[in-house]
Amino acid sequence: MGSPDRKWAKRLLDNTSQGLIALHVLLALYFVTDSLLPMFLVNLVCAVCGVIGLYLLKKGQIRAHILILYLSELIHLGFSVVVLGWSAGFQLPLVGLTCMVFLGEYLGRSLKLPYIPALPLGLVNLAVYVLAYPHFFYRPGLAGLEQSSVYLLQLLWSGGVFALVICGLLSVVNLTTVSEHRLTNKAETDELTGLLNRAGYDRLLEELDLKETILLLVDTDKFKGINDRFGHETGDRVLQKIAKSLLANFRQNDYVCRIGGDEFAVLMLNIGILDDDRIIDKIRFINRELAATAVDELPTVSVSVGVARGTGASNWTELFKQADSVLYGVKQDGGRGCRVYHA
């Protein structure tokens, strides 16, 4: 359900991107005074790419953000090697590129957003350095061959050592945080369904962007009658079935929570433009799934849903009241339906 340090991770990625833009602006100013026009231009392009990447980050598109920064830094690396030479243009960009792809993967996981795995791009780093610049590895004669061997050893040594450093740092981070995360997850996880409980839901609200969220309040219809007629064990299985259906029909970066006995909440993130009919159709499909009894032999059940958009509320409490008000209307009309709040 995402790492508990989502706010910190967002700030880290944002600050890293701003720092990268500032660095390229400073380098561009340095190279223009040093009369190195190619390096001035490439740093200017990288700064512009950084601004574009920052805009994509604000829109929640972490995959596109990391990719555009990675490609711009790769271009910067190429020009640095060609213009400044191997030793001056290779070492620092290698470290920067590798750091960036690992940072992208870690933050992608933490923010529960699409991300680019770091290992394949780390291998691409090595492959590009070896294949795209073969003239650095080959010189006619024995002296050139010896020199190219030095370059190759430099590359392998830098890549290998840095990979070990990254692995070591990740291991230390994992060892120091795993126990804390387990305790947090246990306190915020509903044992019956495996979803976030009310404590997890409340903590989540502190980390999400209200204006980019849609809240769905889901109430099980006539659940008390199921418990009374079939027993609490069957009632528990019905709740598990509802939880499973909600998880299966919403996106991986949405959050499904059990906030009460037979009440659930779904937080849809980074929704952009999503019309009411698509949400209503999704709930209709879920209710058809819950009505099917042939496979699990559970009693037929349905849910009532109230929907409210964060763009129409000033805080989370108001958003909850809006969703709850239209949910009440669905219940008054007999349940098994969905209604979207409009001011």
Select the more confidently predicted residue: 289 or 42: 289
In the chain, alpha helices (H): 6-33, 37-58, 62-84, 86-110, 118-131, 141-188, 198-205, 223-230, 232-249, 276-291, 316-332
Give the total number of structural domains in the chain.
Answer: 2
225 belongs to a structural domain: yes
Q: Give dist(CA 74, CA 340) in Å, integer.
A: 47
pLDDT at 285 over 80: yes
Average confidence (pLDDT) over 247-256:
89
**Residue 191: per-residue pLDDT:** 86
pLDDT at 251 over 80: yes
- Out of 133, 160, 187, a domain closes at 187
Banded pLDDT at 282 (limits 50, 70, 90): very high
Q: Do residue 120 and residue 75 come from a single domain?
A: yes
Region of 126 (left: φ > 0; alpha: ψ -120 to 50; beta: rest) is: alpha
pLDDT at 150 over 60: no
Q: Do residue 259 and residue 231 come from a single domain?
A: yes
Q: Do residue 230 and residue 324 come from a single domain?
A: yes
Give, in order, the Cα–Cα distances in Å from 158 to each of 11, 126, 132, 148, 308.
29, 10, 18, 15, 53
Average confidence (pLDDT) over 200-223:
91
Q: Do residue 22 and residue 131 come from a single domain?
A: yes
Average confidence (pLDDT) over 262-274:
85
1 belongs to a structural domain: no
**Residue 231: per-residue pLDDT:** 93
Q: Do residue 232 and residue 165 come from a single domain?
A: no
- Out of 187, 208, 235, a domain closes at 187
Q: Which structural domain range is residue 207 located in?
A: 198-340
193 belongs to a structural domain: no
- Out of 187, 209, 237, a domain closes at 187
pLDDT, tens digit, for every residue of 118-146?
A: 666 666 666 665 665 555 544 444 444 45
Q: Do residue 202 and residue 279 come from a single domain?
A: yes
**Residue 98: per-residue pLDDT:** 63
**Residue 113: per-residue pLDDT:** 58
Q: Do residue 333 and residue 205 come from a single domain?
A: yes
316 belongs to a structural domain: yes
Q: Do residue 165 and residue 266 come from a single domain?
A: no
User: What is the reported pTM?
Assistant: 0.52
**Residue 66: per-residue pLDDT:** 72
Q: Do residue 176 and residue 82 come from a single domain?
A: yes
Q: Do residue 212 and residue 143 come from a single domain?
A: no
Banded pLDDT at 102 (limits 50, 70, 90): low
Query: 101-110, 133-142, 151-160: which has the highest mean pLDDT?
Result: 101-110
